[in-house]
Structure 1
Amino acid sequence: MTAPRSLFSRRLLLAFTLAPLVLALPLAARAADPELLNVSYDVARELYKDINPAFIADYKQKTGETVVIKQSHGGSSKQARSVADGLEASVVTMNQANDIDMLAERGLVVADWAKKFPNNAAPYYSTMVFLVRKGNPKKIASWDDLARADVKVVIPNPKTAGNGRYTYLAAWGSVLKKGGTEAQARELTGRIFKNVPVLDGGGRVATTTFTQRQIGDALVTFENEVQLVRAEFGDNFEVVYPATSILAESPVAVVDKVVDRRNVRKQATAYLNFLYSDAGQEIGAKHFMRVRSAAVAKKYAANYKPITLFTVDELFGGWKAAQKKHFDDGGEFDKIYSQK
């Protein structure tokens, strides 16, 4: 008869039997890595493609925690409406304050969102310039030139795309800035939009229409977008700076209802703060965004041609007033485009 196992042997056997279960418990019970969804406008794809891994590494070094970041891109206003309709964005990084104001009105973002981060919660800004074909065969130099009968202009739809809206306001404001009347501004803007062969839904689609489908004599879009096109396509295109244009800020906000429900407010706030860090500003400058850091802006000064900029507040009384007058259903844009 086999002698009974000693107490020590039985305990040792039990330990080996239970070990796999004990080791498995932390893996099974471990919470998933915190995940953020950044809902952004479409021509910011490459910017956040570089921002995200830089932030993840920085946050991991500082906290030991790994954050997963997912992206969604499209026309700025269309993206904002998707968030309002239920897309669970942790943060929104848009190209105009109007879209975030709409989310604040829906109770998804706090009313004073623009005070939660520096510079009206806009870590970067840009402006609207022209991309023309090599040699600038139509000799386009000004907003007035875009209204000529022999010029076709590619501009995304101001109803769905922030850069379309900025382009519209930049054209209108170019007249007011030099002392023209509202009637003269309406007339110039109307003639420009009569020259638009197709209203694409977003800025990146408009870029494709101009560069790959070879439609139009000029593309009007953000300065950073046209510089990226130049970098990709070399000497096939040239950038034209009008004498005046609009200051186009890229505001950001935490989507409060989502981050609190998903318990990721700390990570979402850190993510947006990273945009203002030296590393975040450096990445923005490399993508031809105009940055807030004086030191980084000086380092990349060659990227930015001097241009006279006016603001939406200065000439249009702020985004809410501009939206109501120009872009709401039945507003100035609808009147202009219906006469095309």
Structure 2
Amino acid sequence: MRYPQVPIANLRSKLGPFGQRYKNYIFLLLVTISLSLSLSIRACGKENILPTSSPVAQIQSIAQKRKPIELSLVSFSITKAAYTEIVPLFKEKWRREHNQEVKFRLSFAASSTQAKAVINGLPADVVHLALALDTNKIQKAGLIKPGWEKRVPNNGIVTQTVGAIVTRADNPKRVYTWLDLAKPGVSVITADPKTSGIARWNFLAFWGAVTQTGGTETEALDFVTKVFQNVKILATDAREATDLFLRQQEGDVLINYENELIVAKREGLAKDTVVVIPDINISIDNPIAVVDKYVDRRGSREVAEAFVKFLYTPEAQRAFAQVGFRPLDFQIAPELSGKFPRVTKLFTAEAFGGWNAIQEKFFKDEGLFDRIQAKIRAKRL
């Protein structure tokens, strides 16, 4: 059916005065709708469009954040067990909070060896080394900015342990203190201070056993010389020293980190041994640092700094404690107090003037350690 077409002019004439009012009403209605739509569009724009970037740029930014990122961690040998537990915790936390996967590249070796490798080009984002001396070497090479220890809690120290003496079952040589290591006929296994961080801590523990209890430096030199006369093998690092003693059955006594021996016992390697924690001991403080030059080059600073920060959380410190490091976090210390033997006198590297002074006096080429070794070799000829 077709309806008749009525011309507009005829419609207006038929509607009369009412038609003019209707026309005005329609015009006002259209103006109101137009203004409302304009205001709505502007409001939506303010809420949803960033003034500094286009929608395309925002989409690209989100895509970049979700792209997997690699983090390179370089550490000293005995932290491997701890990071086996900690790395998955951080990866899950970062994925949950940032919707991004972190792929880790891990390297474990003797502390001074690691410092040298980073200086020579190993692109580490984060270094966790046995002593601040090695971190300072990387700083002097221009890779870490000065003041690295102030950018994180606890002056950069992230793990702490003490020195330990390990003997064969029933302790047949009756070694209970550092001073007993100088007894004739005691075969000692320790690492080499020229390559290993633990070896330098061991040396300071021997030296401090005399000087921190009222003895003179002459007496300390005599005692430490006697200890190294009893050293059968100088291992490259802490892990090699442990393997020599536990797997290859070398020596009567092993000197190593407390946490290294806790891990060995957990793995069943030290079941026929006695672990002694001397009452007078050294606080073995291990620093952490972001390697500024490499993180800026690789674009990994954000995740590197977040990872270092994570290592100070109760969650990570608890994981460190589970593999033998003494907790730095006072929140979890009470729950672990029965796990670690009490030390009555604990001294630090500052008792010897700090690591620069220690290096200059004891471990530089032709320093005191080299002179002790030369004297021992001359005596054996």
Q: Do these two structures clear the TM 0.5 threshold for a shared fold by scoring above it?
A: yes
Match of 1:245 in 2: 281
1:153-191 deviations in whole A, cap 9, x for unaligned? Answer: 111011111000000011001100111111111111111
Cα displacement string for residues 25-64 of structure 1 (whole angstroms, at most 9, x for unaligned residues): x9xx978521111110001111111111111001111111
- 8 Å contact 1:224–1:289 — kept in the other structure? yes
TM-score with structure 2 setting the length:
0.80
Give the equivalent residue in structure 2 for 1:210.
245
> Residue 330 of structure 2 aligns to which amino acid in structure 1?
A
Whether 2:369 is the aligned partner of 1:339: answer no
- Residue type of the alignment partner of 2:238: G
| Counterpart pick for 1:310 among 320, 336, 347 | 347
Using the alignment, how far apart are the partners of 2:101 and 2:358 within structure 1?
42
Of 300-309 and 254-263, the range deviating more from structure 2: 300-309
Match of 1:103 in 2: 138
Q: Secondary structure of the equivalent of 1:300?
A: helix
Distance of 2:77 and 2:84 partners within structure 1: 12
Instruction: List aligned pairs for 1:1-340, cutoff 5 A.
Output: 33-233=68-268, 235-307=271-343, 308-314=345-351, 316-340=352-376
Please state whether the residue corresponding to 2:72 is helix, strand or coil: strand
* AA aligned opposite 1:249: D
Q: Superposition RMSD on alpha carbons, in Å?
A: 1.4
How far residue 245 of structure 1 moved from its aligned partner, in angstroms, is: 1.1
- Asked if the contact 1:230/1:238 (under 8 Å) is kept, the reply is no
Letter in 1 for 2:320: G
**Distance in 1 between the 2:193 and 2:271 partners?**
29
> Shift of residue 300 of structure 1?
1.0
User: Which protein, 1 or 2, shows the higher relative CO under an 8 Å CA cutoff with sep ≥ 6?
Assistant: 1
For residues 241 and 262 of structure 1, the distance between their equivalents in structure 2, rounded to whole angstroms, comes to: 43
Deviations 1:288-310 (A, max 9, x none): 11111112111111111111210
- Contact 2:279–2:342 under 8 Å retained in 1: no
In 2, the alpha carbon distance for the partners of 1:242 and 1:338 equals 29
Deviation at 1:235, TM superposition (A): 2.9
Q: Residue 70 of structure 1: SS of its match in structure 2?
A: strand
Query: Are the aligned partners of 2:160 and 2:283 in contact in 1 as well (CA < 8 Å)?
Result: yes
Q: Which amino acid aligns with 2:306?
A: A
Once residues 337 and 130 of structure 2 are traced to their aligned partners in structure 1, the CA distance between those partners, rounded to angstroms, is 22
Question: How far did residue 207 of structure 1 move?
Answer: 0.4
SS in 1 for 2:271: helix
Partner of 2:27: none
Amino acid at match of 2:74: V
Alpha-carbon distance between aligned partners in 2 of 1:187 and 1:62, rounded to the nearest angstrom: 57
Amino acid at match of 1:304: F
Give the C-alpha shift of residue 133 in structure 1: 1.2
SS where residue 75 of structure 2 aligns?
strand
Map of 1:11 onto structure 2: none
Deviates more, 1:285-294 or 1:97-106: 285-294
Give the drift of 1:243: 2.1
Q: Is the 8 A contact 2:314 2:331 kept in 1?
A: no
Aligned partner of 2:9 in structure 1 is none
Aligned pairs, number: 312
My pick for the range that moved more, 166-175 or 123-132, is 123-132
Mapped partners of 2:283, 2:346: distance in 1: 5
Q: Does the 8 A contact of 2:179 with 2:209 survive in 1?
A: no
Report the 3-state secondary structure (helix = DSSP H, G, I; strand = E; otherwise coil) of the residue aligned with 2:234. coil
Contact preservation (8 Å) 1:130, 1:226: no
Residue 166 of structure 2 aligns to a residue in which SS?
strand
Equivalents in 1 of 2:267, 2:252: separation in Å?
19
Q: Which runs of 5+ in 2 are unaligned?
A: 1-59, 377-381
In structure 1, what residue type is equivalent to 2:318?
A: E
Q: Is the 8 A contact 1:123 1:291 kept in 2?
A: no
Report deviation, 1:83. 0.5
CA deviation digits over 1:78-110, x for unaligned, max 9? 110111111111100011111001111111111
3-state SS, counterpart of residue 231 of structure 2? coil
**What amino acid does structure 2 have at the position aligned with 1:330?**
E
1:227–1:239 contact (8 Å) kept in structure 2: no
Q: Which amino acid aligns with 1:45?
A: K
Distance in 2 separating the partners of 1:44 and 1:211? 19
Residue identity over aligned pairs, in percent, reads 36
Structure showing greater radius of gyration is: 2
Distance 1:193 1:46 in 2: 29
Q: How many Å apart are 1:198 and its aligned residue? A: 1.2
**Partners of 1:288 and 1:188 in 2: CA distance:** 29
